[in-house]
Amino acid sequence: MDAQSYIKGLEDEILHHEAVHHPFLKRFASESLSLEQIRTFGLQHYQLVRIFVNYMTNLLPLIPDKEAADLFRTVFDDEFGQHTIFRSHPALYRNFLKGLGLPEEAWGRVAFLPETTLYIEAHKKLTRDEDFLIGLGAVGPAHEFAIPTMFEYLISGFKNNTDLSDEVMEYFDFHIVQDKEHAVVFNQLIIRHIETPESQKLLREGAMRCLAFRKAFWDGLYRAVFGESL
Ligand SMILES: [Fe+2]
Ligand SMILES: [Fe+2]
């Protein structure tokens, strides 16, 4: 299969993956939520957000492509906040946590769910110790491409249960748009390296391994936020 069609097929598969439409996301979008439940979600999710850029810095030197750094640059610029660290994505997420009334020490002190730790450790390995195509599958299609779909559920939950300002919601609102653009950037890079069935298989493997950890992360949040196991 040609590279372009392969990516399209993989994106279709991801759009229908159970991690992207997890029961946690469905309940979060549709049920009445207390501030405490939303805080519980935010404090765990922040831990994933604050480390995301490390996966990209792990991966970049593994990619045998002189243009990878240039292609990554636009994504790095967005993640790091262009001209000011106050607009880095973790900083914008902290605005959201502050909007939920959480004090600064809350996100440093929170106990990680086992699934949160597992997610982070697994992604460090996926982007550092594996074939670069596995890392690209995890960070490109399974993160950048999948995130807008998952965030739609989360944003519904915030809108239904809080009156957070647009400013406080900025992290979520703009990822709906920005991660679609980031996915296109990743695909420009990926497409140059998946001409063979073996390379296509590696890319998909990375994406599916990432989504399995994402599913486990939502399983953990289901338990932490709704007080019951799936
Ligand atoms: Fe981001
Ligand atoms: Fe992104």
In this structure, what CATH number is given to the domain that contains residue 62? 1.20.910.10
Ligand that lies nearest to the alpha carbon of residue 89, given by its number in the listed order:
1
Ligand 1 centre distance from Cα of residue 144 (Å): 8
Render 109-139 in DSSP notation, one character per residue. HPPPPHHHHHHHHHHHHHTTSS-HHHHHHHH
Ligand 1 centre distance from Cα of residue 175 (Å): 6
Ligand that lies nearest to the alpha carbon of residue 48, given by its number in the listed order:
1
Ligand 1 centre distance from Cα of residue 75 (Å): 8
Q: Give yes or no for a contact between 228 and 35, defined as CB atoms under 8 angstroms apart.
A: no
Ligand 2 centre distance from Cα of residue 33 (Å): 27
Overall pTM surpassing 0.75 (yes/no): yes
Ligand 1 centre distance from Cα of residue 91 (Å): 11
pLDDT digits (tens, 9 = 90+) for 93-144: 999 999 999 999 999 999 999 999 999 999 999 999 999 999 999 999 999 9
Instruction: Say what the pLDDT of residue 81 is.
Output: 86
> How many domains is the chain partitioned into structurally?
1
Q: Give yes or no for a contact between 48 and 221, defined as CB atoms under 8 angstroms apart.
A: no
pLDDT digits (tens, 9 = 90+) for 22-51: 999 999 999 999 999 999 999 999 999 999
Ligand that lies nearest to the alpha carbon of residue 139, given by its number in the listed order:
2
Ligand 2 centre distance from Cα of residue 188 (Å): 15
pLDDT digits (tens, 9 = 90+) for 48-96: 999 999 999 999 999 999 999 999 999 999 898 877 778 899 999 999 9
18 pLDDT above the threshold of 80: yes
Classify the C-alpha dihedral 6-200-61-178 as positive or negative.
positive
Ligand 2 centre distance from Cα of residue 75 (Å): 6
Ligand 2 centre distance from Cα of residue 182 (Å): 5
Ligand 1 centre distance from Cα of residue 139 (Å): 11
Ligand 2 centre distance from Cα of residue 152 (Å): 15
pLDDT digits (tens, 9 = 90+) for 141-183: 999 999 999 999 999 999 999 999 999 999 999 999 999 999 9
Q: Give yes or no for a contact between 150 and 142, defined as CB atoms under 8 angstroms apart.
A: no
Cβ neighbours for 207, distance < 8 A, ≥ 6 positions apart: 10, 14, 137, 138, 140, 141, 142
Domain hosting 59: range is 3-226
